Amino acid sequence: MPPVQSTLRTADGLDLAAEHHLRPACRGVVAFVHGYAEHTGRYGGLLAALDAAGYASHLLDLRGHGRSGGVRGHVLRFEEYLADLDLFLDRIEQVQPRQPGPRLPRILVGHSLGGLIALRYVLHRSAGSAGPAGPAAFDALAVVSPFLQPTMEVPWVKVGLAAVAAQLSPTLLIKSDIEARWLSSDPAVVAAYEADPLVFKTLNPRWFFEARRAQQEVLERAGEIRLPAMVQLGAADPIADPEAGRRLFERLGSADKRLEVYPGLLHEILNEVERARVIGDLVAWLDAHTAHDPAP
């Protein structure tokens, strides 16, 4: 079945692109949030595996990313991502076919920045945390290489200059220091990333400070997250510090939680040389947290 495309209009007038991979019968519904400077079109392997395992998948290009509108990578406030996710989840409720029996399990999966957004969303919106229940509560949460802290320390001079720029010119874009070879050990993945017209090579200082504020809150309040949770990390990740990911896991208030750390893998473990193993572990965890088998 070909994916269904949809467009969401935000309160501040942006059009966001969403994609819905539906199934006539499925065992669960996955909402996926991608990372910074990229887009949903880079996850074909994950989508194929989810479909084969019986899951419906819904993906959103974040504001300022991919086919969505907005200044590339920019947010004035991190909470804009949460409001956009509210719209996205409402749309999932509209397009996801109803099946006989109990409500299908819903799982939120986020990579890198998407992992940070997913964690912050659960803190503020989910019935699985101390925050108020959102429009569509999730039954489980998985974060992949969550961006909770940069692996490399940012020089204080750069931080100071970025702080000034973030206040005086919030939409300013500067050259990103991230290199494509830090994402994956697979040369084909690196080459595709470098040639992708929807990938951008800039950084928005305002976004940097908003993300840092969200990182601090998530790590401080991780104990309030009580949903079943999976954390997957690349031990050699040069972008999102895997030690911060370990600290998150230790602090999670979830009674049901699982940590997988992959030696030698870089940042995009879903697109790494051992991606079949990483995706297989994620799908197996999803299977253990969904009660509905797809119809034959």
Any catalytic annotation for residue 112?
A: yes
Please pick, among 112, 145, 184, 254, the residue that the annotation labels catalytic: 112
CA–CA–CA angle 280, 82, 35 (5° rounding)? 40
Any catalytic annotation for residue 86?
A: no
In 3D space, the residue among 102, 107, 93, 94 whose CA is nearest the CA of residue 138 turns out to be: 107
CA-to-CA distance for 269 and 31, rounded, in angstroms?
18
Q: Which two tokens stand for residue 10?
A: 């935000």
Please pick, among 61, 84, 139, 237, the residue that the annotation labels catalytic: 237
Backbone angles phi, psi at 261, to 5 degrees: -120, 130
CA dihedral 83, 48, 228, 222 (to 10 degrees): -50
How would you classify the pairing of strands 28-33 and 174-175?
unpaired
Any catalytic annotation for residue 176?
A: no
The residues annotated with a catalytic role in the active site are 112, 237, 267
